[in-house]
Amino acid sequence: MPSPWGWFAVTACGAQRNNFEEPVALQEMDTSNGVLLPFYDPDSSIVYLCGKGDSSIRYFEITDEPPFVHYLNTFSSKEPQRGMGFMPKRGLDVSKCEIARFYKLHERKCEPIIMTVPRKSDLFQDDLYPDTPGPEPALEADEWLAGQDAEPVLISLRDGYVPPKHRELRVTKRNILDARPPSGPRRSQSASDAPLSQHTLETLLEEIKALRERVQAQEQRITALENMLCELVDGTD
């Protein structure tokens, strides 16, 4: 019996096919026995296939016409993945034409893998970013359990588009008149601008004198300790 990662089957394509019993396309991948991790992007009709324990990501385009599955390319790396995560479309950087972002789980780290479509234009790419499902649910849990159904609430990614910042050379001339003090009534002299009184000046001088005496006393103590240290060192020699 084929392994889960050895074969890839498309069970339904398009809105008119609702038969999930038989696949409409069967694609042989390899002979690995790892668990298949599929990620499907309905906006671009691309399915990404990751195998647990494998080191590659294969992606295919799904269409409504035979043969339904079209191989696009393979992303390969050196280290195998222990798991894989997929960023929702609203979290991508549309200014860099990013169409998919994976988070590859290693033994000690998580590595982002970014897939982009090269475009020369800096404008928003409407064909790459159609309206996509947003974070707001279309139904509450009770409504869904009651059998109701609704289409997802779509959002536009154009609001999240950030155009690239072009560096512009600007030459500005400084106006010497801007340095002039503002015209107007002169402010009144505050208490901090008032001259020191004789009593305050004498108090400051006494404090400075006391600090100098304290510093000199500390210097004498340091000198005495250094002399004692030298005597101890000479005695040990």
Residue 217 carries which DSSP code? H
Distance CA 181, CA 171 (A): 25
For the chain, the C-alpha Rg in angstroms (whole number) is 37
pLDDT of 223 reads 87
Look at residues 33, 38, 183 and name the one whose alpha carbon lies nearest to residue 102. Answer: 38
Residue 106 carries which DSSP code? -
Residues β-bridged to residue 86: 102
Q: What are phi and psi of 37, to 5 degrees?
A: -120, 95
The pLDDT profile of the chain, 237 residues, written as one tens digit per residue, is 334 445 555 554 443 456 667 787 787 776 677 788 899 999 999 999 988 888 899 999 999 888 888 999 999 988 888 999 999 998 899 888 999 999 999 988 999 999 999 988 888 899 999 999 888 889 998 999 999 999 999 989 987 744 556 555 565 666 655 666 665 555 555 444 556 677 788 888 888 888 889 888 888 888 888 888 888 877 665
Distance CA 13, CA 25 (A): 9
Strand positions, DSSP E, 196-236: none
pLDDT of 177 reads 58
Number of Cα atoms under 13 Å in the Cβ half of residue 108: 0
pLDDT of 111 reads 93
Total-model pTM: 0.58
Residue with tokens 């498309």: 10
Cα angle: 140, vertex 142, 144; to 5 degrees: 70
pLDDT of 146 reads 93
Confirm if 120 and 74 have CB atoms less than 8 A apart: no
Instruction: List the chain domain ranges.
Output: 9-129, 130-160
pLDDT of 2 reads 38
| Token pair recorded at residue 204 | 């400051």
Q: Exposed, middle or buried: residue 148 (CB in 10 Å: 0-12, 13-18, 19+)?
A: exposed
pLDDT of 224 reads 86
